[in-house]
Amino acid sequence: MNRGFWSELKKPIMVLAPMANVTDAAFRRIIAKYGKPDVFWTEFVSVEGLLSVGREKLLIDFWHTKEEKPIVAQIFGGKPEQFYEVAKLCVELGFDGIDINMGCPDKGVEKSGGGAALIKDPARAQEIILAIKGGVRDVGSAIPVSVKTRLGYNKNELETWVQALLKAEPAVITMHLRTRKEMSKVPAHWDQMRTMVELVTRYTNRDTRPLLFGNGDVMSVEEARMKVAETGADGVMLGRAIFGNPWLFAKDPYSNVLENIGVSERLQVMVEHTKLFEELYGLNSSFSKGGGRRPEDLNPSRLRRTPFTKGRIKPFDLMKKHYKAYCNGFDGAKELRVKLMEAETAAEVEELVSLFLKKS
């Protein structure tokens, strides 16, 4: 089995979950600066969309810089032949690995045959893994293929589902420790992570065993290390814990505790994050600059700027979910959040923060 860059990482491996409209290039670059995880994932992107007219807007989500490496491209869909073609694109764009989303419960994603729908079609899931491997191989590369999925669809199908995945030999399996039916409404079943480790150990050998990551409800690196010790997992994927906390993965155990970061620093980083978001996705996007890996047809002048985005590549309102997280747990946070919800530019955000810090 080809594990690629994964074999070079020291365990336990701590990685950042892909989250649509959250872990974009701007936020990843802020995280890379203040608390870089062992591996980044991109936001997930449709393989069908990447092969369609107007793909420029989707390609934005694949733009990355060397500071974010190693970085894995996450893709979703239901047709193996489309995964084959997109695998070649991922190699061209310089990704270190490719991950298949086999767990998203979104009805639109499932309608395409992707996401959690693949749990109900193990044979096609295997075909997709093999199709990506074929696409990678046919352009002379060997980047590894991984899978992010769930325990089952309507019920726990861990044993049969994982056995099916193992036949295609993915380099990594990340298990969101809930079923599709459970969504995120119940606590993650971390007891099933140990079961999974034992299962995979039984059905594989050292040469064919994938790395195994758990995902769900973990809010700190310290807690993640405890989960690894308890279950035998190779690593943990953290998601929601990153909101308002780009220091989450900091190697310094003091810095990765948000309570140890002063209010002024938190707000200044929020402003920095906002400026970067506006630089990349705003009215005067700099996506053609910066040396990031991108295809030649990713030309900002060709990107679709809708009335909803008010002339921007991405709407400024996407930043506001971050403001809710950055502005939390300190005196005056609620009042500042209310004002930030009305802001429309990075300059307005910077002015609001400056006034707040002068008064506090």
Distances (CA, A) of 346 to 7, 22, 319, 320: 41, 17, 10, 11
The conformation of residue 172, written as its DSSP 8-state character, comes to E
Look up 104 and say whether it is catalytic. Answer: yes
Q: Let me know how long the chain is.
A: 360
The CA-CA-CA angle for residues 193, 250, 261, to 5°, reads 120
Q: Is 88 annotated as a binding residue?
A: no
CB 248 within 8 A of CB 242: yes
On whether 183 is known to bind a ligand per the annotation, the reply is no
Name residue 225's amino acid.
Answer: R
239 belongs to an annotated ligand binding site: yes
Contact present, 217 and 193 (Cβ < 8 Å): no
Q: Which two tokens stand for residue 159?
A: 């044993």
Q: Assign residue 183 a region: left if phi > 0, alpha if psi is -120 to 50, beta otherwise? A: left
Residue 16, amino acid: L
Q: Is 18 annotated as a binding residue?
A: yes
343 annotated among ligand-binding-site residues: no
Residue 113 Rama label (left phi>0; alpha psi -120 to 50; beta): left
The response to whether 74 counts as a known ligand-binding position is: yes
The residue type of 186 is V
Q: Is 28 annotated as a binding residue?
A: no
102 annotated to a ligand binding site: no
Residue among 26, 31, 72, 104 flagged as catalytic: 104
Q: What are the contacts of 287-293 at 24+ separation with CB within 8 A?
A: 287/60, 287/63, 287/313, 290/65, 291/65, 291/66, 292/25, 292/63, 292/64, 292/65, 293/63, 293/64, 293/65, 293/93, 293/94
- Rounded to whole angstroms, the Cα distance separating 266 from 18 reads 23
Distance from chain centroid for Cα 54 = 23
Give catalytic residues, as residue numbers. 104
Binding-site residues for FMN, please? 18-20, 74, 148, 176, 239-240
Binding-site residues, please? 18-20, 74, 148, 176, 239-240
